[in-house]
Structure 1
């Protein structure tokens, strides 16, 4: 098996017509399961019968589920809300979202079967990135209640790779373990991969000529930003692969194949994904930017039907990749989030677009975007922390070039580019939050 490039060639190479029939059959099954057992779906699917779902257009019979609905249900019926089909007594694992929004995190229950399914989903991505049983995988993750890389850990073990949990340690300790244990695969967020690389440089550890050959990225859209990915690959001397998942579905939903860098295959034998216009809810076609809507076929304890993720994506046909997989792709992975966009003096600003420019410059250690209201005028500021090798003259040139490129990419909008003191900007292990909007209203 180790010589073939697919974890499950039967489904990864399945003809599209057969794949669509498989998805509809699984959808009918999960609709029946959820309606019979979940208080939430018993109510929202009152007029929907599984046998009514025969074609793709019949999917519209199923109402959308939003994060706000889930959280409201959780608040009204603590601690887990009305989505689960059973109570905690029949589950083996509880995980939460990261809680970066400031509200109580979503809580999700999983059974033993669910957790086995989550590991299987990760195996598609890991195997597609070239991970094999002889590898040594290092998981640079804190192992808290946030679901993060828990599933990846189990996926590495399922493949047969030696798996090293890197929790409850400093960044320096993790870097030393990566070196001491001869890790060939490292998993982290894109931001933390860069932080690990910076720490290695300070410690005098040569990552570029070390054993790590694969970096698995997840947790942030930055993994599919070409400039960020290229920077990670230069600092590690390894190939980086983007993935994306979410607590709401318990596992990974897409992965970047080795034959199509910059795009992520949807794992379509286990998920049904639609892309809709965020304003109208209408499904849109290939090549149009829209919001991901996710239905999971494998998570049985907390079913997920037509969940509006707020992730912005552009779906393209499977033919864009050359591997032979028949699963469609999201070009550029997750581009950002519907609520990420900020309006500044009539111009749309996306954090990912700013990062794509910033990461194209050498000498930058960290950055932050701040938006404020000054004397009836919106101002946007880019705070930049540089490497020690950047002197004052180098900074002046860097700041000028950054300002020009940022304005050119944002309809002439002027960014105030300022230098931050060394160590002044926050560092992140999990999801980075590099934009702060200090305005009371837009």
Structure 2
């Protein structure tokens, strides 16, 4: 069993025509189920006949679902809204979004069947990453209500690996546990993987010489940034594997196999993933960037049909992988968010592009980006926290190089780079929030002062 390359050989290698037929069968069943039981879908699917959903083009008969609609339903009929097909009396778990955006967390219910399915999806990813029953998996996660790595934990147990829950404890203690238990696989966000490596260095622990061979990353687009992944792999001496999911479906949608770096396979026997123009909602061709639209067949308690995720991706055909899988790929995984892009003096600024540059510099431990309106002009301020070993001369050289490379990557836009004090900037265990846009608030304050004068 451990020698096979696929978790589910039958479906992962299914010819594309048969895979599409399977998707259509599951789509008809899911639409019928949702329309008959969910108050939300009883309204929005009232004119949709499941039996007429026969081709890919027929997906257009199903209206999009947005996070705003889901949240509006949750606000109108708290706490779970009108999307679930049942109330909490038939569910066994509830999870929420991380709330890093500052908004009210989205709440989602799961049945026992749903929860088993979520673990199965993670098994596709873990097996593809090379995780096997003899491994020892360490889950560096706080186990709160955020969905996070709950499903991965269950999947490690399902495939037979010894599973160590990181729980709510300090970063130094987690590093010590990774060493003490002889972990061979570590799961965390990309940001926290780097934080663990920094702490290990401070403790005098040589991670690259240890037994960890695989890091399973999720929770942030940073796992798809080559520079960030390369930095993580150097810090650990292990292979970093990207995955991506969301609370809205309770599990992952895509995974990067060990033999296919730089691309994440969509688990297409359990999902339909469209890529659309964020402005028009029309599907874009292979190879063009667009927004992910997700339809899930596995979560029965809270069905998800054509959900607009706001994730930016580029889909390419399965044949480009060359590893035997017939599932299509997202080249580079998730490359950003529709709402991440900021316009500064006519130039598009993406957090991922900034991170890719910063991760190419040695000696930088953390950073923050602040967009401010100063003296009538928008500015990008980059706060950089360096290793104590970077002296004043080293900082001056580093600063000059950063300003130059950032300007080159942003049409000449000049960043104001400033050095932060040691431990001044926040560290993150879950999703990192490194960009703050203060411009609107500052402009309002300036206008109020002007009106009072």
Same fold (TM over 0.5): yes
Once the two structures are superposed, residues 393-441 of structure 1 have per-residue CA deviations (whole angstroms, 9 ceiling, x without a partner) of: 1111111111110000000000011110000000000000000000117
Q: 1:376 and 1:392 mapped to 2: Cα distance?
A: 32
Q: Are residues 1:215 and 2:221 paired?
A: no
Residue equivalent to 2:122: 122
Q: 1:373, 1:263 → 2: CA distance?
A: 38
Matches of 1:317 and 1:361, distance apart in 2 = 34
Partner SS for 1:305: strand
Q: How does 1:42-441 map to 2 (within 5 A)?
A: 42-440=42-440
- For structure 2, the residue ranges without an aligned partner over 5 or more in a row are 444-453
The Cα shift of 1:259 comes to 2.1
Residues 329-371 of structure 1, C-alpha deviations (whole Å, 9 max, x = no match): 1111111110000000000000000000000111100001110
CA distance in structure 2 between the aligned counterparts of 1:111 and 1:157, rounded to whole angstroms: 19
How many angstroms apart in 1 are the aligned matches of 2:366 and 2:411?
25
Separation in structure 2 between the aligned mates of residue 56 and residue 319 of structure 1, nearest angstrom: 19
Deviation string, structure 1 residues 17-66 (Cα, Å, up to 9, x no partner): 00000001100000000000000000000000110101111110000000
Measure, in 1, the Cα distance between the counterparts of 2:182 and 2:349: 41
d(CA) in 1 for partners of 2:141 and 2:238?
A: 19
Q: CA deviation at 1:128?
A: 0.2
- 3-state SS of paired residue (1:141): coil
Corresponding position of 1:19: 19
The root-mean-square deviation of aligned C-alpha atoms, in Å, is: 0.8
CA contact (8 A) 1:381 1:415 kept: yes
CA distance in 2, matches of 1:271, 1:254: 10
CA distance in 2, matches of 1:388, 1:210: 25
Cα deviation, residue 376, structure 1: 1.4
Unaligned runs of 5+ in 1: none
Write out per-residue CA displacement over residues 112-134 of structure 1, whole angstroms, 9 at most, x where no aligned residue.
00000000000000000000000
* Equivalent residues of 1:273, 1:292 under 8 A apart: yes
TM-score (norm 1): 0.99
Q: CA deviation at 1:319?
A: 1.4
2:36 is paired with a residue whose SS is helix
Counterparts of 2:143 and 2:65, CA distance in 1 = 28
Distance 2:156 2:331 in 1: 26
Q: Is the 8 A contact 1:259 1:322 kept in 2?
A: no
